[in-house]
């Protein structure tokens, strides 16, 4: 890492690096003492040997404390003691209300998650509720972010969670899924909704500009909303309009929005998608570096896989999503509109190979999950296999599957290159966001989610630190902890230092690794030994304890 960046990062963290030091034992014992670990403190500084003392939910001492006493002790010999990992892009806002154990998160060492990418838990009205499934809709008892955090803390989640407020949800609240510019009155109403969420602790404004209805918003409209977040110290995060053919142009739009709003920019799951676009990570990185060089605060996050995951309905042209899910399904049922969609997907040649082009064709797209039990036989099939099994051409098989599954089918797109992935991971301003919500990990799981849900953080430590040496251990931990904490303003998390919240992850650097695969994704990782959330062990000796000590995270007002 360049020295200039390291010095800047340390300044941003308020000189958070912890200096090993011996000290006398307190008169009263600590609640928990972690002894003899290899402390990687999150700042990027070299590891050192030491102990960590915890009282209540805080770290109270770090250093060599041979005479210290504690009610409970963890022997960290041979283990790395790191700050709890922060997932910069999760989707656990509703899953934690259903199953607060967060098994897929804590077994990766994740103690905190930031969510709110395409949609957010606020604002809430009939327009936003309509797009939720019935089970999720029934759980929505709140009308504002304070209400959501009350519901979250009542569920007692195992991890901490903070959220952005999104362009998609704000627009849907005011305009439904209309494909048109906002009127001045509608824009003013949206500003007020963003302002209300920011006052109650949202991290900033986020946009999913590749998905309806946010895709219908202009650059200027998004900038106006981001200005409201900026007034409260929040930033602008984005799933950009393009991650493939127009990747660099999409990055430039994100930068313009941040500059115009006067705030920082976080680019979600940075990638160069589509085989024709392999190699575009280099100009993408150059565009971000150029903006940073002129003083624009742009950072990104990434997950460590060469396949992405989203809905199968992402194969359908954007215009067909106007009006929401019910309107999309109606268009797929209408013969004339269906023929129009098919014509766009098949191209002039009349073949079906335009579907999944970014993944090399239908064979590069795999059905991951369905919501209707009778369709589970299709999980794990590629789209060409789906078509063969149904005796249809690919477009017709896709349309009929979406109709049968109420457009709730998820898919995996094998569309990125390893070289681009590694180039992104090397950048000092890239943190990690797994783009997956919390999940259980037992025999009752019938879907095939993206393996990133279970393996992302250990995969980096195993594949890209220990095996391929793409980044160092200290830099990986910094990307997992201090970097995302500083990005979203979590001043009391992300570093092993006295006074910080006791979110800690202890792992074996020689054995930590992912086990989840695309064929068998519901497998927890190995080598994550102990995880503490707010001072309480939620994972001990690799086994969940059942403790649920997570909290809602709010961005502090400037």
pTM: 0.89
| Strand-strand pairing, 536-540 and 543-544 | antiparallel
Token pair for 427: 């950048």
Long-range interactions of 523-529: CB distance < 8 A, separation 24+: 523/441, 523/454, 523/455, 524/103, 524/104, 524/107, 524/441, 524/454, 525/107, 525/108, 525/454, 525/455, 525/457, 525/458, 525/459, 526/458, 527/458, 527/461, 527/462, 528/107, 528/108, 528/109, 528/458, 529/79
Q: What angle do CA 96, 451, 78 make, to 5 degrees?
A: 85
CA dihedral 420, 424, 426, 427 (to 10 degrees): 150
Max CA separation in the chain (angstroms): 81
C-alpha to C-alpha distance for 417 and 262, rounded to whole angstroms: 34
Q: Which of 402, 369, 448 is nearest to 394 (CA)?
A: 402
Classify residue 69 by burial, with Cβ atoms within 10 Å: 0-12, 13-18, 19+.
middle
C-alpha to C-alpha distance for 475 and 218, rounded to whole angstroms: 37
C-alpha to C-alpha distance for 439 and 99, rounded to whole angstroms: 8
C-alpha to C-alpha distance for 20 and 334, rounded to whole angstroms: 69
pLDDT tens for the chain, residues 1 to 558: 444 444 344 434 443 434 444 444 445 699 999 999 999 999 999 999 999 999 999 999 999 999 999 999 999 999 999 999 999 999 999 999 999 999 999 999 999 999 999 999 999 999 999 989 999 999 999 999 999 999 999 999 999 999 999 999 999 999 999 999 999 999 999 999 999 999 999 999 999 999 999 999 999 999 999 999 999 999 999 999 999 999 999 999 999 999 999 999 999 999 999 888 999 999 999 999 999 999 999 999 999 999 988 889 988 988 899 888 899 999 999 999 999 998 888 764 444 445 666 777 888 899 988 989 999 999 989 999 999 999 999 999 999 999 999 999 999 999 899 999 999 999 999 999 999 999 999 877 777 889 999 999 999 999 999 999 999 999 999 999 999 999 999 999 999 999 999 999 999 999 999 999 998 999 999 999 999 999 999 999 999 999 999 999 999 876
Q: Which helix (H) or strand (E) holds 479?
A: helix 473-480
DSSP states of 73-118 as a string? EEE-TT-EEEEPEEESSB--TTHHHH-TT-HHHHTTTEEEEEE-SS
C-alpha to C-alpha distance for 65 and 47, rounded to whole angstroms: 17
Cβ-proximal residues to 351 (8 Å cutoff; 6+ apart), any chain: none
């Amino acid at each position: 890492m360049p020295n200039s960046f390291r010095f800047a990062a340390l300044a941003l963290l308020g000189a958070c690096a912890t200096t090993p030091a011996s000290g006398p034992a307190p008169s009263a014992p600590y609640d928990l003492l972690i002894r003899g670990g290899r402390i990687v403190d999150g700042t990027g500084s070299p590891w050192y040997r030491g102990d960590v003392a915890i009282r209540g939910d805080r770290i109270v001492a770090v250093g060599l404390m041979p005479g210290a006493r504690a009610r409970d002790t963890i022997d960290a010999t041979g283990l790395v003691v790191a700050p709890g990992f922060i997932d910069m892009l999760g989707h656990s806002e509703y899953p934690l209300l259903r199953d607060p154990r967060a098994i897929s998160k804590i077994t990766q060492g994740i103690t905190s998650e930031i969510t709110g990418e395409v949609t957010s838990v606020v604002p809430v009205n009939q327009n936003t509720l309509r797009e939720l499934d019935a089970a999720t809709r029934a759980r929505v008892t709140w009308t504002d972010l304070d209400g959501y955090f009350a519901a979250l803390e009542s569920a007692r989640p195992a991890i901490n969670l903070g959220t952005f407020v999104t362009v998609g949800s704000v627009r849907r609240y005011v305009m439904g899924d209309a494909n048109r510019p906002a009127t001045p009155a509608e824009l003013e109403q949206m500003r007020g909704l963003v302002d209300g969420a920011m006052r109650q602790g949202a991290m900033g404004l986020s946009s999913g500009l590749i998905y309806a209805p946010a895709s219908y918003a202009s650059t200027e409209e998004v900038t106006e909303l981001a200005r409201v977040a900026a007034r409260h110290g929040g930033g602008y995060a984005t799933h950009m309009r393009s991650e493939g053919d127009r990747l660099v142009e999409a990055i430039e739009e994100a930068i313009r929005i941040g500059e115009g709003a006067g705030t920082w920019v976080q680019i979600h799951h940075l990638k160069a998608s589509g085989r024709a676009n392999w190699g575009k990570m280099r100009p993408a990185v150059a565009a971000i570096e150029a903006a940073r060089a002129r003083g624009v605060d742009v950072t990104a996050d990434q997950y460590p896989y060469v396949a992405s995951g989203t809905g199968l309905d992402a194969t359908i042209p954007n215009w067909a999503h106007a009006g929401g899910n019910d309107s999309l399904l109606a268009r797929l049922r209408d013969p004339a509109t269906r023929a129009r969609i098919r014509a766009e997907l098949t191209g002039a040649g009349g073949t079906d190979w335009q579907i999944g082009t970014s993944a090399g064709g239908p064979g590069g797209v795999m059905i991951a999950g369905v919501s209707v039990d009778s369709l589970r036989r299709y999980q794990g099939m590629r789209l060409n296999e789906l078509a063969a099994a149904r005796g249809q051409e690919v477009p017709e098989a896709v349309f009929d599957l979406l109709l049968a599954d109420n457009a709730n089918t998820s898919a995996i797109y094998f569309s990125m290159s390893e070289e681009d992935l590694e180039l992104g991971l090397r950048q000092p301003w890239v943190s990690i966001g797994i783009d997956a919500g919390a999940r259980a990990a037992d025999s009752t799981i019938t879907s095939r989610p993206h393996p990133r849900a279970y393996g992302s953080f250990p995969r980096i430590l195993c594949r890209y630190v220990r095996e391929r040496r793409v980044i160092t251990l200290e830099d990986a931990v910094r990307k997992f902890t201090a970097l995302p904490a500083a990005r979203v303003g979590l001043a009391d998390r992300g570093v092993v230092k006295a006074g910080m919240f006791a979110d800690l992850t202890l792992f074996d650097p020689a054995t930590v690794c992912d086990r989840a695969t695309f064929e068998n994704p519901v497998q927890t990782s190995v080598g994550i030994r102990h995880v503490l959330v707010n001072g309480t062990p939620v994972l001990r000796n690799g086994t969940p304890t059942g403790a649920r000590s997570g909290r809602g995270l709010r961005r502090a007002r400037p």
